[in-house]
Chains A and B, each alone.
Chain A
Amino acid sequence: MVLANALNNSKKQRQPLLQVENLTKVFGSGKHEVVAVEDVSFEIYPGEIISLLGESGSGKTTTARMILRLSQPTRGRILFNGRDIQTMKGIDYWRQVQAIFQDPFSSFNSFYSVHSFLSKAFRLKGNHVSKAQQRALMEESMEKVGLNAEELLFKRPHELSGGQRQRLMIARALLISPELLIADEPTSMIDASSRVGILNMLMELSRDLGMSIMFITHDIGLAYYTSDRLLIMNKGRIVERGPSVEVVENPTNEYTRRLLADVPTLSKKWAL
């Protein structure tokens, strides 16, 4: 709460890290036209954690893909530190914006050991890093995500649990030390008991490294627990936005209200 207030105060002076302006994505054309994302604008400030929250088909992943430059916007633009990301070289952009995805099982090449998986990240780093330095950096970033490098560095993906794999994805992202991490449903395939550990870790990393995080999720509990601000998406548009506590406790939009009413909670029992 304190953090959220501090952020709100400092937001006015600080430059946004990422600005999304009137972003629109249309798939198909003519009769088959589908507007997946429509006129979406928001910004992310340095060190901030936000959630783009929506149900399946709301356009949240399409938005994330455009921010990651995996998909071209039909209209609108995205600025990173004030620069249009379309004008930046891919490698320069991805040094600053990294992602972790939903499925930690298909993100790995099963023939590569943890060591070779992580060492690929150094290709993104412009300057040369010696083998010894690489090893030290790998160990450091594995330690940050709570993995034992000595035990795991030469294991292959099938020897790791889902939670360990997702931590490894984060360790890889950290090697590149991005300013923004896009986390697309990072814990939906992970058990409740390990899920919180990963989220706590991401929140600590954001605090310690000043890294911004954008969660893309349908999980209101996750968004509420982790984020300073929420953006609620429905049918391609952002229908409500604001500090997490405000949005969850006093939703003003009809869709948000319905969404919140349908989420099972512990205190209230549904009238069915």
Chain B
Amino acid sequence: MKNLLEAQNLKAYYRLVGGTQIKAVDGVTLELRPNEVLGIAGESGCGKSTLAAVVSLTHNPPLNVVDGQVTANGFDLLTLPKEEARREIKGKYISVVPQGAMNALNPTTRIQSFAIDMLREHHPEMTKQEAINLARARLQELSLPERVLTSYPHELSGGMRQRTVIVLSTLLNPRVLIADEPTSALDVSSQKAVIRLLMTLLDEQIISSIAFITHELPLLRQVADRIAIMYAGKLVEVGTMEEIIFQPQHPYTRALMGSMLVPERQVRERRVEGIPGVPPDLKDPPAGCRFHPRCAQRIDWCTQEEPPSKTVGDRTIWCWLMH
């Protein structure tokens, strides 16, 4: 089957006053396949949210795409006229739940007006009542209380607001859902409820695939089919969940996995080590492999030339040690 969404050598930079550029996404090639959860993970500032913004067409200046292609549903998204993108792609083919979406609801209107706006944008002939009925039916289908439609955002808990936002953003059955840190501000019980909802959306084929962006690898172990690890604007390793979580190969992935604190015996019985140093300044990223200043296994090559990719089976890795 065809990929649902593809980024080809995507470069997206933030342009600052004075002309300096922050190379937040710098040459990323990644595909979202049908019926999968693709986890995109990395630390803050690695470019994962920027990537999400570009592929969901929600990027605005000063963030500019300087090179590369994004294709979805037969369209070249980056050259698509705005009007057409809004009609054919946004909300209909790709839906995005940005970071902190649950706090972005209008506090002065009831939740249902969000559903009405969203549905009538794509179906102008629809009456308000029809839109509300549609939203109500969907909430019932997903066993969420109908009362959320007539509630104001502050009357709902954080977890319920987040689930509501997800349900409303998928009312048009988009093929792709891009979820940026959908559970990061939630308690573990609400987090699990959000995950359960996302899995139901997939099982019911309301959506086909999810790009799940998070810094929490233990969470991806629970939900992801494949995981892409980003560092300083570039991919370092992409593979199946099992490959990345249980047999990471890139020194950065290994170090990142090693620094996870989960409540399990093996964590308590050894000293967990972090990664020395900090991620590079993306105004002026280091030459060669961007991880080399913090890498314990670097060789001469790493400081000079960017590592090419190497693919074995489902795993692709960008590291000189693998060549």
Question: Do A and B assemble together?
Answer: yes
Binding site for B on A (CB under 8 A): 1, 55-56, 161, 163-164, 191-200, 218-225, 244-245, 248-249, 258-260, 262-267, 269-270, 272
Contact yes or no, B187 A225, CB < 8 A: no
Decide: A221 near B262, CB < 8 A? Known: A245-B268, A264-B218.
Answer: yes
Q: Name the distance in Å between B293's Cβ and chain A's nearest Cβ.
A: 13
B263 touches A221 (CB 8 A): yes
B215 touches A192 (CB 8 A): yes
What is the CA–CA distance of A224 and B267 in the complex, to the nearest angstrom? 8
Convert B202-224 into 0s and 1s, putting 1 for each residue whose CB lies closer than 8 angstroms to a CB of A: 00000000000001111101100
Q: Are B218 and A225 in contact (CB under 8 A)?
A: no
Q: B221 is contacted by which of A161, A221, A249, A266 (Cβ under 8 Å)?
A: A266
| A residues near B262, Cβ cutoff 8 Å | 221, 263-266
User: Out of A197, A221, A249, A265, which one reaches B276, CB within 8 Å?
Assistant: A197
Cα-based distance from A224 to B276 in the complex (angstroms): 23
Taking a contact as CB atoms under 8 Å apart, the answer to whether B263 and A265 are in contact is yes
In Å, the complex CA distance between A259 and B255 comes to 27
- In the complex, chain A residues whose CB is within 8 Å of the CB of B268: 1, 224-225, 244-245
CB-CB under 8 A from A248, the residues of chain B are 263
Chain A residue numbers with a CB within 8 Å of B274 are 192-198, 200
Residue contact B221 to A262, C-beta cutoff 8 Å:
no
Q: A200-B274, A272-B199 are in contact. Are A195 and B263 (CB under 8 A)?
A: no
Assess the B216–A264 pair: CB atoms within 8 A. Answer: yes
List, in ascending order, chain B residues with CB within 8 A of A264's CB.
216, 218-219, 221-222, 262
Interface size on B, residues (CB 8 A): 37
For the complex formed, measure the closest distance between the CB of B49 and the CB atoms of chain A, giving whole angstroms: 14
B260 within 8 Å of A by Cβ? yes
Beyond the given A193-B255, A218-B188, could you list 20 further A-B residue pairs with CB under 8 A, ordered by the A residue number?
A: A55-B188, A55-B189, A164-B278, A192-B43, A192-B215, A192-B260, A193-B43, A193-B259, A193-B274, A194-B278, A196-B274, A198-B274, A220-B263, A222-B261, A224-B263, A225-B268, A248-B263, A262-B188, A267-B264, A272-B195
Please tell me if the beta carbons of A196 and B259 are within 8 angstroms of each other in the complex. Answer: yes
By Cβ-Cβ distance, the 7 closest A-B pairs, closest first, are A221-B261, A197-B274, A196-B274, A193-B275, A191-B43, A262-B188, A264-B218
A163's nearest neighbour on chain B, judged by CB, is B278
Q: Quick one: closest A residue to B185, CB to CB?
A: A56
CB-nearest residue of chain B relative to A200?
B271
Contact B189 A224 (CB under 8 A): no
Assembly CA distance A220 to B216 (angstroms): 14
A71 → B minimal CB distance (Å): 23
- For A265, the closest partner residue in chain B by CB is B262
Q: Which of A198, A219, A263 has the most CB of B within 10 A?
A: A263
- Contacts of A222 on B, CB cut-off 8 Å? 261
In Å, the complex CA distance between A132 and B36 comes to 62
Distance in Å from the Cβ of A61 to the closest Cβ of chain B?
Answer: 14
A74, B255: Cα distance in complex, Å: 47
CA–CA, A25 and B119, complex, Å: 47
Set B195, B215, B261: member contacting A225, Cβ < 8 A: B261
Instruction: Give complex CA distance A93, B112 in Å.
Output: 53
Residues on A with beta carbons closer than 8 Å to the beta carbon of B276? 197
